[in-house]
Amino acid sequence: MTRTRPHSRGLPLLSSATAATVVAALSLAFFYAPLDRDQGVIQKIFYIHVPLAIVSLCGFIAGGVMAIRHLRTGDRSWDMRSYVAIHLSIVFAVGTLVTGSIWAKASWGHWWVWSEPVLVSFLIVFLLYCCYQPLRFSIEDPERQARYASVFAVTAGAFVPVNFLAVRLATQHVHPRVLSQSGSLPGPMLLTFLVSLAGVALLWATLWKLELSLKSSRMSLKRLRARLEAPDEVEAPVPEVAVR
């Protein structure tokens, strides 16, 4: 199917905005935000860990919403959007886990702590979404693959908030939480955090658009190749291609 608007439209503007915001966030984090009283410089990881977590979670849920659109309309481009969203959020989830682990090591001396609900929830969510690609590629028929992947994406998207609630309840009575800011953030820290969040969110959006643009170009190329390699007389049926 041909889109009326290419995916790459608006990409230069978006990536410039991303670059500017990320640079601003980094500058604010290291030159403007005050040093935390309790944790010192270690607290600065907060400005990269928490935005990664939030954007990753929203990305998973967005992937679920796009999957709903795909199921309801049957339009495969929504499946592609959902696939890229989930794919990208998995990468951001890995980033969340690694930065969280570094923060745990710096704060507690252990590379992993079970007392941090965000970290634990992310581990479970990550393990679940690791099934997404294997599930996709174990189904050969492209149309069915897209449909089943969307069902999984919606289920997993619904699972994310429930899981967070459950883990939060489970760790409530164990340790006081350290990896998040207790109480309200003072002004400069809040500003830095918001700019960091915006930067990571814009980064997600840019990478999403970029990958979508590349993927859809490749699929168009595959279709073009099929058309060109077909004999002249017969109008070859356009073969279904699976999202890869």
Partner 1 sequence: MTTTATPSERKIASVPPGLWRAATALLRKDFAHEVRTRQTVPAMALFSVTVFVLFHFGLARDTISGSLASGVLWVTLLLAAVVGVTRLFAAERDGGAGEGLLLAPIDRTAIYLAKASALLLYLALLEVVALPAFALLLAPGLGDGLPELIATLALADVGIAAIGALVAGLAAEARAREAIVPLMLLPLLVPVLIAAANASRPLLETHSHAAGLAKWLGLIGLYDVVFVLVSVALFDYLLED
Partner 2 sequence: MTTVLASASGHYVAAAYVVFVALILLYLVIIAVRAQRTERELRELSALAEKRPR
Site for partner 1, rule CB under 8 A: 71, 124-125, 127-128, 130-131, 134-135, 138-139, 144, 147-148, 150-152, 154-156, 158-159, 162-163, 165-167, 169-170
Using the rule CB under 8 A, is 207 a contact of partner 2?
yes
Using the rule CB under 8 A, is 241 a contact of partner 2?
no
Residue 36's SS3 state is: strand
DSSP 28: I
How many C-beta atoms lie closer than 10 Å to residue 169's C-beta? 10
**Nearest alpha carbon to residue 86 among 146, 41, 129:** 129
For residue 16, which amino acid is it?
A: S
Residue 199's SS3 state is: helix
Residue 235's SS3 state is: coil
Q: Which is nearer to partner 1, 112 or 148 (CB)?
A: 148
Number of Cα atoms under 13 Å in the Cβ half of residue 37: 4
* End-to-end CA separation in angstroms for the chain: 16
Using the rule CB under 8 A, is 136 a contact of partner 2?
no
Compute and round to an integer the Cα radius of gyration of the chain. 21
DSSP 238: P
Residue 139 binds what, of partner 1, partner 2, none (CB under 5 to 8 Å, by partner type)? partner 1
Binding positions for partner 2, 19-58, rule CB under 8 A: 26, 30-31, 35, 40-42, 44-45, 48-49, 52
H or E segment to which residue 111 belongs: none
Binding positions for partner 2, 212-231, rule CB under 8 A: 214, 217-218, 221, 224-225, 228-229
CB contact at 8 A, 124 and 57: no
Using the rule CB under 8 A, is 117 a contact of partner 2?
no
Closest CB 133 distance from partner 1, rounded Å: 11
CA diameter of the chain: 77
Using the rule CB under 8 A, is 186 a contact of partner 2?
no
Q: Which is nearer to partner 1, 162 or 228 (CB)?
A: 162
Using the rule CB under 8 A, is 210 a contact of partner 2?
yes
**Nearest alpha carbon to residue 97 among 75, 70, 71, 124:** 124
* Residue among 59, 63, 95, 117 that touches partner 2 (CB under 8 A): 95
* Residue among 11, 58, 68, 94 that touches partner 2 (CB under 8 A): 94
Residue 60 binds what, of partner 1, partner 2, none (CB under 5 to 8 Å, by partner type)? none
Residue 70's SS3 state is: helix
Per CB under 8 A, residues contacting partner 2 are 26, 30-31, 35, 40-42, 44-45, 48-49, 52, 91, 94-95, 98-99, 102-103, 105-106, 203, 207, 210-211, 214, 217-218, 221, 224-225, 228-229, 232
